[in-house]
Amino acid sequence: MKPVASVSLDLDNLWAYLKTHGDPRWESRPSFLPSAVPRLLDVFGEQRLTTTVFVVGADAERDDGAEAVAAITAAGHEVANHSFRHEPWLHRYSAAELEAEVVRAEDAITAAGAPRPVGFRGPGYSVTPPLLDLLSRRGYRYDASVLPTWIGPLARAYHNRTAGSTAGGEDLFGGFGRVKAPNTAYRWRDGLVELPVTTMPLLRVPIHGAYLLQLHQLSPRLARGYFRTALRLCRARKVSPSLLLHPTDVLSGTEAPGMEFFPGMAVPGAEKVALLDWVLSLLREHFEVVGTGEHVARVAASGLRERDPVTC
Protein backbone atom coordinates (compact mmCIF):
# COMPACT_ATOMS: atom_id res chain seq x y z
CA MET A 1 0.00 0.00 0.00
CA LYS A 2 1.13 3.54 -0.73
CA PRO A 3 1.78 5.86 2.22
CA VAL A 4 -0.80 8.59 2.77
CA ALA A 5 -0.46 12.25 1.71
CA SER A 6 -2.92 15.12 1.60
CA VAL A 7 -3.70 18.20 -0.45
CA SER A 8 -5.31 21.33 0.96
CA LEU A 9 -6.26 24.67 -0.56
CA ASP A 10 -6.28 28.00 1.29
CA LEU A 11 -9.05 29.88 -0.51
CA ASP A 12 -7.46 33.29 0.06
CA ASN A 13 -9.12 35.94 -2.08
CA LEU A 14 -7.59 38.90 -3.93
CA TRP A 15 -8.76 41.42 -1.32
CA ALA A 16 -7.06 39.44 1.46
CA TYR A 17 -3.68 39.54 -0.30
CA LEU A 18 -4.02 43.26 -0.96
CA LYS A 19 -5.06 43.91 2.64
CA THR A 20 -2.03 42.13 4.09
CA HIS A 21 0.19 43.95 1.60
CA GLY A 22 -1.09 47.36 2.67
CA ASP A 23 -2.84 48.12 -0.64
CA PRO A 24 -5.93 50.29 -0.02
CA ARG A 25 -7.68 48.74 -3.02
CA TRP A 26 -8.60 45.83 -0.75
CA GLU A 27 -11.44 47.88 0.72
CA SER A 28 -13.50 47.42 -2.46
CA ARG A 29 -13.20 43.65 -1.85
CA PRO A 30 -11.99 42.58 -5.32
CA SER A 31 -12.41 38.86 -5.94
CA PHE A 32 -10.86 36.26 -8.21
CA LEU A 33 -12.91 33.35 -6.87
CA PRO A 34 -15.15 33.05 -9.97
CA SER A 35 -12.03 32.44 -12.08
CA ALA A 36 -9.97 30.35 -9.67
CA VAL A 37 -12.48 27.97 -8.09
CA PRO A 38 -13.84 26.29 -11.26
CA ARG A 39 -10.29 25.91 -12.57
CA LEU A 40 -9.09 24.29 -9.35
CA LEU A 41 -12.10 22.00 -9.12
CA ASP A 42 -11.49 20.90 -12.71
CA VAL A 43 -7.88 19.96 -11.87
CA PHE A 44 -8.95 18.10 -8.73
CA GLY A 45 -11.66 16.29 -10.69
CA GLU A 46 -9.27 15.25 -13.46
CA GLN A 47 -6.88 13.92 -10.82
CA ARG A 48 -9.76 12.18 -8.96
CA LEU A 49 -8.72 13.91 -5.74
CA THR A 50 -10.70 14.73 -2.64
CA THR A 51 -9.08 17.70 -0.89
CA THR A 52 -9.71 20.10 1.99
CA VAL A 53 -10.46 23.76 1.29
CA PHE A 54 -9.83 26.29 4.06
CA VAL A 55 -12.44 29.02 3.54
CA VAL A 56 -12.36 32.63 4.75
CA GLY A 57 -15.63 33.46 6.51
CA ALA A 58 -15.94 36.96 5.04
CA ASP A 59 -15.91 35.40 1.56
CA ALA A 60 -18.45 32.72 2.47
CA GLU A 61 -20.89 35.55 3.27
CA ARG A 62 -20.67 37.05 -0.22
CA ASP A 63 -22.40 35.61 -3.28
CA ASP A 64 -19.34 34.38 -5.17
CA GLY A 65 -17.86 32.90 -1.99
CA ALA A 66 -21.08 31.13 -1.05
CA GLU A 67 -21.29 29.74 -4.59
CA ALA A 68 -17.69 28.53 -4.25
CA VAL A 69 -18.47 26.80 -0.94
CA ALA A 70 -21.51 25.12 -2.49
CA ALA A 71 -19.50 23.91 -5.50
CA ILE A 72 -16.64 22.67 -3.30
CA THR A 73 -19.05 20.80 -1.04
CA ALA A 74 -20.97 19.32 -3.96
CA ALA A 75 -17.70 18.00 -5.40
CA GLY A 76 -17.07 16.09 -2.16
CA HIS A 77 -14.27 18.20 -0.72
CA GLU A 78 -13.99 19.03 2.98
CA VAL A 79 -14.53 22.67 3.94
CA ALA A 80 -12.45 23.91 6.89
CA ASN A 81 -12.09 27.23 8.74
CA HIS A 82 -9.50 29.81 7.65
CA SER A 83 -10.69 32.60 10.01
CA PHE A 84 -13.25 35.28 9.24
CA ARG A 85 -11.16 38.33 8.28
CA HIS A 86 -7.95 36.59 7.18
CA GLU A 87 -5.63 38.72 9.28
CA PRO A 88 -2.26 36.95 9.66
CA TRP A 89 -1.71 38.28 13.16
CA LEU A 90 -4.14 36.16 15.19
CA HIS A 91 -1.34 35.88 17.74
CA ARG A 92 -2.17 39.48 18.72
CA TYR A 93 -5.89 38.88 19.27
CA SER A 94 -7.52 38.84 22.67
CA ALA A 95 -9.44 35.72 23.72
CA ALA A 96 -12.75 37.41 22.87
CA GLU A 97 -11.49 38.51 19.44
CA LEU A 98 -10.22 35.01 18.69
CA GLU A 99 -13.53 33.42 19.58
CA ALA A 100 -15.48 35.90 17.47
CA GLU A 101 -13.14 35.28 14.53
CA VAL A 102 -13.54 31.50 14.66
CA VAL A 103 -17.29 31.48 15.38
CA ARG A 104 -18.18 34.04 12.70
CA ALA A 105 -16.32 31.97 10.11
CA GLU A 106 -18.07 28.79 11.27
CA ASP A 107 -21.46 30.47 10.94
CA ALA A 108 -20.69 31.83 7.48
CA ILE A 109 -19.43 28.47 6.24
CA THR A 110 -22.45 26.54 7.50
CA ALA A 111 -24.84 29.20 6.17
CA ALA A 112 -23.25 28.66 2.74
CA GLY A 113 -24.22 24.99 2.91
CA ALA A 114 -21.10 23.19 4.17
CA PRO A 115 -20.97 21.01 7.30
CA ARG A 116 -19.66 22.65 10.47
CA PRO A 117 -15.86 22.69 10.09
CA VAL A 118 -13.64 20.49 12.28
CA GLY A 119 -10.31 21.76 10.92
CA PHE A 120 -8.64 25.16 11.13
CA ARG A 121 -5.68 26.92 9.56
CA GLY A 122 -4.57 30.35 10.73
CA PRO A 123 -3.76 32.92 8.02
CA GLY A 124 -0.03 33.50 7.82
CA TYR A 125 0.53 30.26 9.78
CA SER A 126 -0.51 32.15 12.93
CA VAL A 127 -1.08 29.85 15.92
CA THR A 128 -1.00 30.37 19.70
CA PRO A 129 -1.90 28.35 22.81
CA PRO A 130 -5.15 30.36 23.32
CA LEU A 131 -6.18 29.58 19.74
CA LEU A 132 -5.47 25.86 20.21
CA ASP A 133 -7.43 25.87 23.45
CA LEU A 134 -10.38 27.58 21.73
CA LEU A 135 -10.39 25.09 18.86
CA SER A 136 -10.29 22.18 21.30
CA ARG A 137 -13.20 23.58 23.32
CA ARG A 138 -15.25 24.07 20.16
CA GLY A 139 -14.82 20.46 19.12
CA TYR A 140 -12.27 20.83 16.32
CA ARG A 141 -10.32 17.68 15.49
CA TYR A 142 -7.25 19.30 14.00
CA ASP A 143 -5.25 22.44 13.31
CA ALA A 144 -3.01 22.84 10.25
CA SER A 145 -1.35 26.20 10.94
CA VAL A 146 2.28 25.29 11.53
CA LEU A 147 4.87 25.74 8.74
CA PRO A 148 8.09 24.17 10.12
CA THR A 149 10.70 26.23 8.31
CA TRP A 150 13.47 28.73 9.02
CA ILE A 151 12.51 31.22 6.30
CA GLY A 152 9.79 33.13 8.21
CA PRO A 153 11.98 36.16 9.02
CA LEU A 154 13.18 36.29 5.40
CA ALA A 155 9.61 36.22 4.10
CA ARG A 156 8.72 38.95 6.61
CA ALA A 157 11.62 41.12 5.47
CA TYR A 158 10.53 40.75 1.83
CA HIS A 159 6.93 41.56 2.77
CA ASN A 160 7.87 44.66 4.73
CA ARG A 161 10.19 45.90 1.99
CA THR A 162 7.55 45.62 -0.73
CA ALA A 163 4.31 46.33 1.15
CA GLY A 164 2.46 49.62 0.91
CA SER A 165 2.03 49.46 4.68
CA THR A 166 3.92 47.38 7.24
CA ALA A 167 1.18 47.65 9.87
CA GLY A 168 1.03 44.23 11.48
CA GLY A 169 4.21 43.15 9.72
CA GLU A 170 6.57 43.29 12.67
CA ASP A 171 6.16 39.62 13.56
CA LEU A 172 4.52 38.00 10.53
CA PHE A 173 5.31 34.38 9.60
CA GLY A 174 7.11 33.51 12.85
CA GLY A 175 10.78 33.31 13.72
CA PHE A 176 13.70 31.03 12.95
CA GLY A 177 12.61 28.82 15.86
CA ARG A 178 9.81 27.34 13.76
CA VAL A 179 12.38 25.11 12.10
CA LYS A 180 12.37 23.09 15.35
CA ALA A 181 8.69 22.18 15.00
CA PRO A 182 7.94 18.63 13.84
CA ASN A 183 7.45 18.06 10.11
CA THR A 184 4.95 15.26 10.74
CA ALA A 185 1.62 15.12 12.55
CA TYR A 186 1.53 15.26 16.33
CA ARG A 187 -1.01 15.81 19.08
CA TRP A 188 -1.16 18.85 21.34
CA ARG A 189 -1.62 17.90 24.99
CA ASP A 190 -5.22 19.11 24.87
CA GLY A 191 -5.96 16.38 22.30
CA LEU A 192 -6.06 18.50 19.15
CA VAL A 193 -4.03 17.06 16.26
CA GLU A 194 -1.57 19.33 14.44
CA LEU A 195 -0.91 18.49 10.79
CA PRO A 196 1.93 20.80 9.69
CA VAL A 197 2.27 22.13 6.16
CA THR A 198 5.10 19.89 4.99
CA THR A 199 8.49 21.37 4.22
CA MET A 200 11.36 19.55 2.54
CA PRO A 201 12.82 17.04 5.02
CA LEU A 202 16.31 17.91 6.28
CA LEU A 203 16.49 21.27 4.49
CA ARG A 204 13.18 22.54 5.91
CA VAL A 205 12.43 24.80 2.94
CA PRO A 206 8.83 25.15 1.68
CA ILE A 207 7.57 22.94 -1.11
CA HIS A 208 4.06 24.32 -1.61
CA GLY A 209 2.69 25.92 -4.74
CA ALA A 210 3.98 29.51 -4.50
CA TYR A 211 7.57 28.36 -3.98
CA LEU A 212 7.41 25.90 -6.85
CA LEU A 213 6.04 28.62 -9.10
CA GLN A 214 8.83 31.01 -8.16
CA LEU A 215 11.35 28.31 -9.14
CA HIS A 216 9.34 27.55 -12.29
CA GLN A 217 9.59 31.22 -13.24
CA LEU A 218 13.38 30.83 -13.12
CA SER A 219 13.54 27.36 -14.65
CA PRO A 220 10.77 24.78 -15.17
CA ARG A 221 13.36 22.01 -14.92
CA LEU A 222 14.57 23.36 -11.58
CA ALA A 223 11.02 23.46 -10.17
CA ARG A 224 10.30 19.88 -11.18
CA GLY A 225 13.63 18.61 -9.89
CA TYR A 226 13.04 20.42 -6.60
CA PHE A 227 9.64 18.79 -6.11
CA ARG A 228 10.89 15.33 -7.11
CA THR A 229 13.66 15.68 -4.52
CA ALA A 230 11.14 16.72 -1.87
CA LEU A 231 8.99 13.65 -2.47
CA ARG A 232 12.01 11.33 -2.47
CA LEU A 233 13.08 12.76 0.88
CA CYS A 234 9.55 12.44 2.25
CA ARG A 235 9.49 8.76 1.36
CA ALA A 236 13.00 8.16 2.67
CA ARG A 237 12.28 9.97 5.97
CA LYS A 238 8.76 8.50 6.30
CA VAL A 239 7.10 11.91 6.14
CA SER A 240 3.48 11.88 4.95
CA PRO A 241 3.36 15.12 2.96
CA SER A 242 0.62 17.68 3.45
CA LEU A 243 0.77 19.84 0.32
CA LEU A 244 -0.66 23.36 0.41
CA LEU A 245 -2.15 25.17 -2.60
CA HIS A 246 -3.59 28.66 -3.19
CA PRO A 247 -5.84 30.13 -5.92
CA THR A 248 -2.80 31.98 -7.28
CA ASP A 249 -1.40 28.59 -8.29
CA VAL A 250 -3.74 28.65 -11.32
CA LEU A 251 -4.12 32.39 -12.00
CA SER A 252 -2.10 34.68 -14.26
CA GLY A 253 -0.96 38.13 -13.15
CA THR A 254 -3.69 39.81 -15.20
CA GLU A 255 -6.31 37.81 -13.29
CA ALA A 256 -4.93 39.06 -9.96
CA PRO A 257 -4.31 42.80 -10.44
CA GLY A 258 -2.13 44.33 -7.74
CA MET A 259 -0.37 41.07 -6.90
CA GLU A 260 2.79 41.62 -8.94
CA PHE A 261 4.74 41.29 -5.67
CA PHE A 262 3.62 37.69 -5.14
CA PRO A 263 5.87 34.79 -6.14
CA GLY A 264 5.26 33.29 -9.56
CA MET A 265 2.73 35.84 -10.83
CA ALA A 266 4.66 36.30 -14.08
CA VAL A 267 3.90 32.68 -15.04
CA PRO A 268 0.93 32.39 -17.45
CA GLY A 269 -2.19 30.76 -16.05
CA ALA A 270 -2.12 27.84 -18.50
CA GLU A 271 1.47 27.04 -17.48
CA LYS A 272 0.45 27.13 -13.83
CA VAL A 273 -2.39 24.68 -14.42
CA ALA A 274 -0.03 22.34 -16.30
CA LEU A 275 2.51 22.48 -13.46
CA LEU A 276 -0.17 21.82 -10.83
CA ASP A 277 -1.46 18.88 -12.85
CA TRP A 278 2.08 17.44 -13.00
CA VAL A 279 2.65 18.02 -9.26
CA LEU A 280 -0.57 16.23 -8.31
CA SER A 281 0.13 13.39 -10.74
CA LEU A 282 3.57 12.84 -9.24
CA LEU A 283 2.18 13.00 -5.72
CA ARG A 284 -0.47 10.40 -6.62
CA GLU A 285 2.17 8.18 -8.18
CA HIS A 286 3.98 7.79 -4.86
CA PHE A 287 1.25 8.38 -2.25
CA GLU A 288 -2.41 7.76 -1.62
CA VAL A 289 -3.71 11.33 -1.66
CA VAL A 290 -6.65 12.37 0.54
CA GLY A 291 -7.98 15.54 2.17
CA THR A 292 -6.55 17.00 5.35
CA GLY A 293 -9.27 15.68 7.63
CA GLU A 294 -8.87 12.14 6.31
CA HIS A 295 -5.08 12.44 6.59
CA VAL A 296 -5.47 13.39 10.25
CA ALA A 297 -7.85 10.51 10.90
CA ARG A 298 -5.43 7.99 9.44
CA VAL A 299 -2.29 9.15 11.22
CA ALA A 300 -4.15 9.63 14.51
CA ALA A 301 -5.33 6.03 14.40
CA SER A 302 -1.71 4.85 14.39
CA GLY A 303 -0.78 6.91 17.45
CA LEU A 304 0.89 10.31 17.69
CA ARG A 305 3.43 11.96 19.93
CA GLU A 306 2.22 14.68 22.26
CA ARG A 307 3.62 18.21 22.41
CA ASP A 308 3.06 21.10 24.79
CA PRO A 309 0.87 23.87 23.27
CA VAL A 310 3.54 26.52 22.85
CA THR A 311 3.82 29.01 20.04
CA CYS A 312 5.79 27.63 17.10
Instruction: Give the pLDDT confidence of 253-268 residue by residue, as tens digits.
Output: 999 999 999 989 999 9
What confidence score (pLDDT) does residue 170 get?
Answer: 67
Amino acid 302: pLDDT: 84
Cα of 146 vs its chain's centroid, Å = 10
Distances (CA, A) of 224 to 94, 218, 276: 43, 12, 11
Q: What is the reported pLDDT for 312?
A: 46
Taken in order 12, 246, 264, 176, the sign of the CA dihedral is: positive
- Residue 198 is predicted with a pLDDT of 97
**Lowest mean per-residue pLDDT among 58-67, 68-77, 213-222, 300-309:** 300-309
Note the pLDDT of residue 311: 46
56 burial via Cβ count (<10 Å: 0-12, 13-18, 19+):
buried
Give pLDDT tens digits for 206-238.
999 999 999 999 999 999 999 999 999 999 999
Give the residue, 177 or 54, on which the prediction is more confident.
54
Query: Is 65 inside a domain boundary?
Result: yes
255 domain-assigned = no
Please report whether residue 226 resides in a domain: no
Query: Does 186 map to a domain?
Result: yes
φ, ψ of residue 214 in degrees (nearest 5): -65, -40
Phi, psi for residue 230 in degrees, rounded to 5: -60, -45
pLDDT reading at 182 higher than 50? yes
Judge whether 177 and 228 are in contact, CB under 8 Å: no
Give yes or no for a contact between 7 and 243, defined as CB atoms under 8 angstroms apart: yes
Q: Which residues pair with 242 in a beta bridge?
A: 6
In a domain, 252, yes or no: no
**Percentage above 70 pLDDT, the chain:** 96
* Highest mean pLDDT (candidates 92-96, 106-110, 179-183, 189-193): 106-110
Separation between Cα atoms, residue 39 and residue 51, nearest integer Å: 14
Give start and end residues of each alpha helix (H) in the chain: 14-20, 33-46, 57-60, 63-74, 95-111, 129-137, 152-162, 209-218, 220-236, 269-286, 292-301
Sign of CA dihedral 279, 38, 102, 136: negative
- Domain count of the fold of the chain: 1
Angle, helices 209-218 vs 220-236, to 10°: value is 140
Tell me, what's the pLDDT at 309?
64
The answer to whether the beta carbons of residues 169 and 156 sit under 8 Å apart is yes
pLDDT for residue 165: 62
Evaluate whether 38 touches 80 at the Cβ level (below 8 Å): no
Query: Looking at residue 71, which CATH number applies to its domain?
Result: 3.20.20.370
pLDDT, average across residues 147-164: 82
Residue-range definition of the domain harbouring residue 156: 5-200+240-247+287-307
Closest to 114 (Cα-Cα) out of 62, 66, 63, 42 = 66
Quick check: is 277 in a domain?
A: no
210 within a domain of the structure (yes/no): no
Q: Return mean pLDDT, the chain.
A: 93
Whether 260 is in a domain gets the answer no
Residue 42 has pLDDT above 80, yes or no: yes
